[in-house]
Homo-oligomer: A and B are copies of this chain.
């Protein structure tokens, strides 16, 4: 099977997940106590979580594109591993909502932050697993002949991307803000031109 419909289905799931993030930003109600300005200001964790998640999902989309574009065709195992990756992306509106709801709560911030960056961690593990499968087990399905060393180099980049999220998840014990800051810094880092080389190659 070709990779066209795999791409179009993945694009669809990622596009829906990224757009559903907005549902996590509550619309203040005129019936509640507190004026609108106060209510809007009070929900800044929702904006922060929205922006960080939106950019992170956008970057995983760019990387996904680069990963699949290396592929000539797909088999059952690739479709299933890709499905697992999409499942972790599909969870992000939930994880983002938990983070936004608890960042300023009297308790539960650490766990919420761990859920948040833990979801990114899960996503990066799923990404690296699929990439590993493609580069080492399905190298005959790549559209272009790549030497083992080159393939290992690409894979190393995917695997390296897992660690910052592991650190962010562990640091949630110390401070939910630290976790959010690391996730934000990662989103900015990957968005910068300097990261484009690795992004383009997944």
Choose from B22, B37, B111 the contact partner of A94 (Cβ within 8 Å).
B22
Q: Assess the B9–A9 pair: CB atoms within 8 A.
A: no
A98 (CB) vs chain B CBs: closest residue: B27
Q: Assess the A111–B37 pair: CB atoms within 8 A.
A: yes
Does A77 lie at the interface of the complex (its beta carbon under 8 Å from any beta carbon of B)?
A: yes
Stretch at the interface among A82-90, A124-132, A154-162: A82-90
Q: Assess the B80–A191 pair: CB atoms within 8 A.
A: yes
Question: A86 → chain B, closest Cβ, in Å?
Answer: 7
A interface, how many residues as a size bin?
A: 35 or more
Q: Report how far A108 CA is from B35 CA in the complex, Å.
A: 7
Chain B residues with Cβ below 8 Å from A149 are none
Choose from B1, B22, B115 the contact partner of A91 (Cβ within 8 Å).
B22
Question: A196 → chain B, closest Cβ, in Å?
Answer: 3
Does A71 lie at the interface of the complex (its beta carbon under 8 Å from any beta carbon of B)?
A: no
Q: Assess the A101–B22 pair: CB atoms within 8 A.
A: no
Stretch at the interface among A13-21, A138-146, A165-173, A178-186: A13-21
Q: Assess the A58–B86 pair: CB atoms within 8 A.
A: yes
With known contacts A19-B20, A30-B105, A94-B27, A9–B14 Cβ distance under 8 A:
yes
Question: A65 → chain B, closest Cβ, in Å?
Answer: 6
Interchain residue pairs with CB less than 8 A apart (13): A1-B65, A1-B69, A7-B8, A9-B15, A12-B16, A19-B90, A23-B93, A36-B105, A40-B115, A54-B87, A55-B83, A58-B80, A76-B193
